[in-house]
Structure 1
Amino acid sequence: MSDDIITGIMATAGREPGRVAVVDGRGRKVTYGELARRVDAVRDAMAGRPGAADGLRPGDGVLFAVRPGVDAVALALGAVAAGGMLVLADPGLAPEVLAARMAATRPRWVVTESLLHLLSGPLRGLARRRGLLLPDLRDPLPGQAVRHLHTGPWLPGVPRGAVRLSRILRSSGSGPAPRGPYTTHGDQPAAVIFTSGTTARPRGVVHTRGSLAAGLALFRGAFPLGPGDVVHTDQLMLGLPALLAGATWSLPGGGDLTAELAARGATHTFAVPVHLDRLLRRTPRLPETLRHLLLGSAPAPPAVLRRAVEAGPEVLSVYAMTEALPIAVASAREKLAQAEGDLLGAPLPGVGIRVAEDGELFVSGPHLARGYLGEDPLREVATGDLVRLEEGRIVLLGRKKDMILRSGVNIYPGLYEPAVAALPGVAEAAIVGLADPETGDEEVVLAVVPADGYDGDAVWKALPAVMDAGALPDRVEPLGSFPRSGRADKLDRAALRSLLTRRA
């Protein structure tokens, strides 16, 4: 197993040059040999001549804004192989947020699509009228010169002197395997992922080539994956293990997921619980080729887990955080058998855990990010999750910041929400506290999304059997749906509190 993501993937390409590496959203296929040739070409173009002023140095920022596809995979790997640290640019970033991130990372290259230059330049006004807030990527850090590499044809707005991907690919020849040399640089920063922080002080998680390789190895060890498998996902942390294993990374095309899984012969896929719930309500059974369904990003209600188990594949729930990918894995059947709290599973091999006196989980290990941008290296990271250990397995009790305080009693919503969501007629459940502005004491409100057969009186009467007396809610509020946020559609507890306050 390689301790460097780049050397690991390129070694796979050397062993499997004729095997299909990536299938894009339109069904176009690229072999490992061709992918390696593209990575070589991008690396050579961005690294420049030895000692050249415009070449990348290890850890230099590379502002990256390319939609998932073959080009995106080759560009990302090539930029990191050249020494770059990817800075992922969300097109919807507010200008002041982008400016703060650019000041923190000071990118030397910008890798994007020519269409983005058009929409953020000559057609900026039209894009704004259509609701698209696009940053101007031509000059991300005024006063600092940057070089540009773009995909697609030349369009108005593309900076002068920009390198076109198609041209460097044409000039790179058509070798069947990577030219190299590729040496291990496990300590090189490979990507910074911004997670929190203020506009003035953005907080970015810095992963190295080595920490990413260690995390991907943990993923591969958690479920069988090898040549002949087809991983259908747009998630890097599942697609990249496929490339390390010699499997095929199949990228979604935006159509019906079940139909795409069947058409591609997918053996593995990833889903967010709320999206999986919608899918399984339409299609209760998934294609027979699908062996493994991974869930992540948010806890899955018991009703969703039961439908997922009935859909056919083995269902695995991945517990992870940006700073440590992944931490533990538990099967849906194991989670459903857990009587109290949310079972996260045993820590994966090599993952260190520590439970503090207040119950908060701390994590360490080779997959741990180097640290936060501009801060000292991490030795361990606080998860913000309150847990207990049962026979070496981690059981989630709640989020530290989600704790509710009522009459001097600490209430952890995660300890009870799975059991409430498993009651007849309940699709989802969430417990929040609404603070009294005068006393600071909190009203405990149980919000539920009703399912077929919902009976409010029956649910109320059933609560003492699944909740401690000191945690019983002051009221129960049925809602049509819960407010969610982010690409993963996580429950937005702040918005839920605001909604329940207005209803009160």
Structure 2
Amino acid sequence: MPDLLRTVLDHGEQTPHAVALIDAHGRQISYGTLTQRVKATAGGLRANGFMPGDSLLFSIRPGLDALVLALATVAAGGTIVFIDPGVGTELFSARAELAGARWSAAESLLYAAGGLRPARAYVRRRGLLLPDLSALPVRHIYSGRWLPGVPRGARPLRKIVGPSLPDEPDPDAPAVVIFTSGTTARPRAVVHTLRSLSAGLGMLRQRCALEPGDIVHTDQLMLGLPALAGGACWSLPGTPLDPARFVDQMRQRHVTHAFLVPGDAARVLDVTPKWPDLRGVLLGAAPVVPALLRRIQAAAPGAEVLSIYGMTEAAPLAFATAEEKLAHPGPGDLLGTPPDGVRITVVDDELVVQAPHVCPHYLGEPSLTKLHTGDLGRIDDGRVIMLGRRKDMLIRGEHNIYPGLYEPMVTAIPGVREALLVGIPDEQTGDEEVVLAVVLEPDASLSPVKRRLPEVIPPSAFPDRVVAIAEVPRSGRSRKPDREALRCALR
């Protein structure tokens, strides 16, 4: 098995008693146990009819079961399709159809919540729009204990056990599919191979110098896997993030490195301005503002504070320390220096990437030779500086929000003439306040519209504020909506 997968499993043979994973409840799992379970599960998948090239829809929260099944699926020559059941039933169905998977794996609680009528009514009142996973025409695997709603014939993950590990997977076959954007009519998903994943995660591991003895505290798979590849321990905080518990876990587990999105880092700092003795604080998934960097430096004075710039299509693309970012006089946001092997150029003001870890293609689309990031920027003395985003994507916490997914559904609500979702940056955290601005029909009021919003917008994208405006500002010859003008007005 090449690179990442083989490296992780080799630790089980070489250092079987070393701790590989500490789950959200504090339970420790050794490398030997992890390796045995991955091999047995990969063999069990094959024994149950899973074939090389098969895809598996994956809806299991970070934890031992999720890690074992993800690695085992790739080891068995299959593809993990990360699919969020909380995006709404229509978008979920469109994504599942595009994936064309023969298998699905989900927590038993999700099967129950989406398939049983009383449970569906309850979660809908809580603002969740969950699909009926049991209705998918696939073979089902469930994690956790059996619950009503789990489809007949579904296999419990703990019983997916086989006698031996299958042959080594093809390093250039699809290994992971991650949906990023698009509409219900045309969803879009990034496809990574084992080779491209290994290249990118290897760059993260090398720059962060993760090795045996380190303990990396994060719920992000793309940071946990480099820790495991380096022989370090992956510490899971649990989801959703609880700032007080996050800090307690860091202290109790003697964490050496922590990864946070900027919005979560601000929440943790609000709980305690002094963090444990960390050697590294890693930040990513959103811009990092100077005020937040200074707070983190004060909280963890002995740590290297590292900002990671990357995309789902290719991560990492550049690294910048807190000192480098704070010393940058502007304009623009210093993203940092690309790692070896990454070539970033500027074409029509847009950052364009060529690198070994760029995804080979989007699902159902032709091969990629270059990655057009949608980010505007320039290169100064080998360092990348971002000047803005060509895309309309908003970032709140760990969630990427694509207005084009939800604006048409909002405008379908009676009384709404136009709708725009925009983000207003918070100068203290770098996070974005998501604001929904609507133009109402004459004699319509905002209250009924607000009551209907949970039916069309999932919690991960739900606006922080809803406002009525007289008209949408427009610009250019085509009179397209001017989102920047709207942001300025809403400020």
Kindly tell me: are residues 293 and 495 of structure 1, through their superposed partners in 2, closer, same or farther at Cα, counting changes over 3 Å?
A: farther
Greater shift in the superposed pair: 160-169 or 77-86:
160-169
Aligned AA (1:303): A
Deviations 1:54-102 (A, max 9, x none): 32222x2201111111111111111121122111221212221111111
Aligned AA (2:356): P
Distance (Å, rounded) in 1 between the aligned partners of 2:462 and 2:207: 25
CA contact (8 A) 1:386 1:397 kept: yes
Distance (Å, rounded) in 2 between the aligned partners of 1:192 and 1:491: 30
Aligned AA (2:311): M
Task: Tell me by how many angstroms 1:183 deviates.
Answer: 2.4
Distance (Å, rounded) in 2 between the aligned partners of 1:153 and 1:449: 42
Task: Tell me by how many angstroms 1:41 deviates.
Answer: 2.2
Secondary structure of 1:26's counterpart equals coil
Distance (Å, rounded) in 2 between the aligned partners of 1:281 and 1:291: 21
Task: Tell me by how many angstroms 1:494 deviates.
Answer: 9.0
Distance (Å, rounded) in 1 between the aligned partners of 2:462 and 2:219: 16
Kindly tell me: are residues 114 and 482 of structure 1, through their superposed partners in 2, closer, same or farther at Cα, counting changes over 3 Å?
A: closer
Distance (Å, rounded) in 2 between the aligned partners of 1:401 and 1:89: 22
Task: Tell me by how many angstroms 1:8 deviates.
Answer: 2.4
Kindly tell me: are residues 85 and 109 of structure 1, through their superposed partners in 2, closer, same or farther at Cα, counting changes over 3 Å?
A: same
CA contact (8 A) 2:112 2:149 kept: yes
Distance (Å, rounded) in 2 between the aligned partners of 1:227 and 1:121: 44
CA contact (8 A) 2:196 2:359 kept: yes
Secondary structure of 1:40's counterpart equals helix
Deviations 1:263-318 (A, max 9, x none): 11111111111221232233222101x11101111111111111111222210000
Q: Aligned pair 1:281/2:270, yes or no?
A: yes
Instruction: State the Cα RMSD in Å.
Output: 2.9
Distance (Å, rounded) in 2 between the aligned partners of 1:221 and 1:490: 38
Kindly tell me: are residues 251 and 487 of structure 1, through their superposed partners in 2, closer, same or farther at Cα, counting changes over 3 Å?
A: farther
Of 39, 50, 69, 1:55 maps to 50
Of 296, 301, 304, 2:284 maps to 296
Deviations 1:419-464 (A, max 9, x none): xxxxxxxxxxxxxxxxxxxxxxxxxxx978688xxxxxxxxxxxxx
The match for 1:10 is 9
Of 166, 169, 177, 1:192 maps to 177
User: Identity rate of aligned residues, in percent?
Assistant: 47
Kindly tell me: are residues 62 and 495 of structure 1, through their superposed partners in 2, closer, same or farther at Cα, counting changes over 3 Å?
A: farther
Aligned AA (2:38): V
Distance (Å, rounded) in 2 between the aligned partners of 1:183 and 1:25: 31
Kindly tell me: are residues 324 and 450 of structure 1, through their superposed partners in 2, closer, same or farther at Cα, counting changes over 3 Å?
A: closer
Q: What TM-score, normalized by structure 1, do the two folds share?
A: 0.76
Kindly tell me: are residues 448 and 272 of structure 1, through their superposed partners in 2, closer, same or farther at Cα, counting changes over 3 Å?
A: closer
Deviations 1:11-70 (A, max 9, x none): 222222111111110001111111112112221222237xxxx32222x22011111111
Task: Tell me by how many angstroms 1:500 deviates.
Answer: 5.1
The match for 1:338 is 328
CA contact (8 A) 1:57 1:84 kept: yes
Aligned AA (2:34): L
Distance (Å, rounded) in 2 between the aligned partners of 1:494 and 1:20: 53
Q: Aligned pair 1:483/2:434, yes or no?
A: yes
The match for 2:152 is 160
Structure 1 residues 11-90: aligned runs within 5 Å: 11-48=10-47, 54-58=49-53, 60-90=54-84
Kindly tell me: are residues 180 and 449 of structure 1, through their superposed partners in 2, closer, same or farther at Cα, counting changes over 3 Å?
A: closer
Secondary structure of 1:213's counterpart equals helix
CA contact (8 A) 1:274 1:489 kept: no
Aligned AA (2:296): A
Aligned AA (2:158): S
Greater shift in the superposed pair: 123-132 or 21-30:
123-132
Aligned AA (1:104): L
Greater shift in the superposed pair: 263-272 or 327-336:
263-272
Kindly tell me: are residues 376 and 287 of structure 1, through their superposed partners in 2, closer, same or farther at Cα, counting changes over 3 Å?
A: same
Secondary structure of 2:160's counterpart equals helix
Task: Tell me by how many angstroms 1:496 deviates.
Answer: 8.2
Secondary structure of 2:149's counterpart equals coil
The match for 1:439 is none
Task: Tell me by how many angstroms 1:214 deviates.
Answer: 0.6
Kindly tell me: are residues 45 and 448 of structure 1, through their superposed partners in 2, closer, same or farther at Cα, counting changes over 3 Å?
A: closer
Distance (Å, rounded) in 1 between the aligned partners of 2:424 and 2:72: 48
Kindly tell me: are residues 66 and 448 of structure 1, through their superposed partners in 2, closer, same or farther at Cα, counting changes over 3 Å?
A: closer
The match for 2:401 is none
Kindly tell me: are residues 282 and 55 of structure 1, through their superposed partners in 2, closer, same or farther at Cα, counting changes over 3 Å?
A: closer
Secondary structure of 1:239's counterpart equals helix
Deviations 1:307-358 (A, max 9, x none): 11122221000000111111010001100000112111111111122211x2
Of 336, 340, 345, 1:354 maps to 345
Secondary structure of 2:147's counterpart equals coil
Distance (Å, rounded) in 2 between the aligned partners of 1:388 and 1:499: 24
Aligned AA (2:337): A
Structure exhibiting the larger radius of gyration computed from Cα positions: 1
Task: Tell me by how many angstroms 1:489 deviates.
Answer: 11
Secondary structure of 1:154's counterpart equals coil
Distance (Å, rounded) in 2 between the aligned partners of 1:71 and 1:373: 26
Kindly tell me: are residues 450 and 109 of structure 1, through their superposed partners in 2, closer, same or farther at Cα, counting changes over 3 Å?
A: closer
CA contact (8 A) 2:20 2:234 kept: yes
